[in-house]
Amino acid sequence: MKTKQVEQLILQALEHEKGGVEVYTAALQCVVNAQLKEEWERYLEQTRTHVSTLESVCREMKIDPQQDSPGREVVRGLGQSLVQAMDQARSGGEAAAAEIVACECVVFAETKDHLDWELLGKCAEQLEGPGAKALKRACEQIEDQEDEHLYHTRGWCRELWIQSLGMKAVLPPPEERQNTKTAMGAARAEQDADRERRSDARH
Ligand SMILES: [Fe+2]
Ligand SMILES: [Fe+2]
């Protein structure tokens, strides 16, 4: 294992979770659907916990959580641009359009978040010592939540877009009903939504 690169991943993940708090705060200004709002409020709370969990992982691993790096700056910039995109959409004055932009921004953010935790999980398997224990514990708590953040928001994003196009949308998306937590489950949920659309069109 390349220790420096593991450190880099942890610092990027921390920076990204911090940006995630800002992303959800901005997304909650754009959301219209009450159920999605509730969901994002929960994800915002979880994201706050992810920040503090990674800060304590840093302490356990003797990494300075404030330490900056070029990679970390890029992550920060990406987060800021997502917030900016949502502000811009909101100032456009079309609520339904801003909600879709917010969904897309959350999907962008959660794609990186999901990747970070997937990689952190792999690192935790390989590392040893007290820091590794803390990282393992964190992954056990958080990886599942990241699956939900990504797959469920992707479902909302797809169905809200479909609704905006004037087609039959399945809302809430099947990802909710099926409590989707895997890539395979997400593919199934998407198929089920299409099947529901087609059978409605035939009747
Ligand atoms: Fe997270
Ligand atoms: Fe997340």
pLDDT confidence of residue 203: 66
> In this model, does residue 200 exceed pLDDT 80?
no
Nearest to 149 by CA among 15, 23, 59: 23
- Yes or no: say if 54 and 48 are a contact pair by the CB < 8 Å rule: no
Share of the chain above pLDDT 90, in %: 95
Give me ligand 2 centre to Cα 143, in Å: 9
Give me ligand 2 centre to Cα 190, in Å: 20
pLDDT confidence of residue 160: 98
Give me ligand 2 centre to Cα 147, in Å: 8
Share of the chain above pLDDT 70, in %: 100
Nearest to 7 by CA among 128, 113, 120: 120
Give me ligand 1 centre to Cα 81, in Å: 18
* Average pLDDT over all residues of the chain: 96
Residue 93 backbone zone (phi > 0: left; psi -120 to 50: alpha; other: beta)? left
Sign of CA dihedral 170, 193, 113, 89: negative
Give me ligand 2 centre to Cα 179, in Å: 16
Give me ligand 2 centre to Cα 120, in Å: 14
> In this model, does residue 86 exceed pLDDT 70?
yes
User: pLDDT digit string (tens) for 30-62?
Assistant: 999 999 999 999 999 999 999 999 999 999 999
